[in-house]
Amino acid sequence: MLRLRDGIKEIIRKTAISLPRDVEDALQKAWEAEPGGPGKEALAAMLENTAIAKSASKPLCQDSGTPIFYARVPRELSFAVVEKAIIEGVREAGRSVPLRPNAVDVLTEKNSGDNTGLGFPEMYFKQCEEDTLVIDLTLKGAGSENAGTFYKLPDERLNAGRDLEGVRKCVLDAVHAVQGRACPPYTVGVGIAGTRLVAAALSRKALMRKLTDEAEDHRIKELEERLLAQINGLGIGPMGLGGKCTALGVKINHAHRHTGSYFVDISIACWANRRGRLIW
């Protein structure tokens, strides 16, 4: 499994130092559309930062984030083997990229020094029938993680009911409340479900979708497009400095819910929505 460990180390390195093509393209288009002022200057700095990180092979941001892995594992390969390779790959990447050590014990406040610990990195495994191991990775910064929020519908404060219109009100409220923190332009992930855990998992996974992806259901597609336009109409702008581009995309995942519950979870990614994929 040393080759798998090295493959994981390499995908962590690539994810830390380079943006996905769709995100970089969206930032370029946002810069071209921004009329001027501090917002346009902020977008120019993001694009320059992206180019420097790539050419110098250095992380895009000093916060190298929480590594979050989604693994689809063939039946002949055990979860335990993949888990061990991921942990060792994270440790190796921390030394070689290098990555900032972010894993802190909540009881002792001691940093593990290698980005591993209880619940760190995050790992999710799913058995699959294919004979190929596929590992998706995101490096989730703390600023954007702190910007996420959660709603239970109906919500009297927002006059939001248990429907997609209620979801729309929740998303706009969440982005407005952040007020430019967490380094916009954002990618906004939304999860709708009948339990808090599933809603949170869905919203986080929504950030893994490409900005160019279109939802299969026309109702979700229309809501994503409407929300993106309305978020960008808030005027918060890049880095909260004002402007036309507050978000690069809105992605919504949904699941069946219990008759008596309706939860909406919102995850936010900063402009550097770092994600990558290893196919083994």
Count of all residues that appear for the chain in the document = 280
For residue 127, pLDDT beyond 90: yes
Q: Is residue 248 part of a domain?
A: yes
Query: Which residues, in sequence order, are bridge partners of residue 67?
Result: 139
Q: Does some domain include residue 65?
A: no
CA distances 132 to 73, 218, 279, Å, are 7, 32, 7
Would residue 260 count as lying in a domain? yes
> What pLDDT does 2 receive?
87
CA distances from 244 to 39, 185, 196, 265 (A): 8, 10, 33, 25
Per-residue pLDDT tens digits for 4-43: 999 999 999 999 999 999 999 999 999 999 999 999 999 9
Query: What is the predicted pLDDT for the residue at 102?
Result: 97
Query: In this structure, is residue 91 part of a structural domain?
Result: no
Q: State which residues form the domain around 183.
A: 143-272
| Residue 245: alpha-carbon gap to chain centroid | 18
What is the torsional sign of CA 251, 255, 260, 261?
Answer: negative
Residue 67 lies in a domain: no
Number of domains in the chain: 1
Domain annotation covers residue 154: yes
249: its two tokens: 């995309």
d(Cα 68, Cα 55) in Å, to the nearest integer? 25
Query: Could you tell me if residue 24 is inside a domain?
Result: no
pLDDT band at 120 (very low <50, low <70, confident <90, very high): very high
161 in a structural domain: yes
pLDDT tens track for 197-213: 999 999 999 999 999 99
- Amino acid at site 161: G
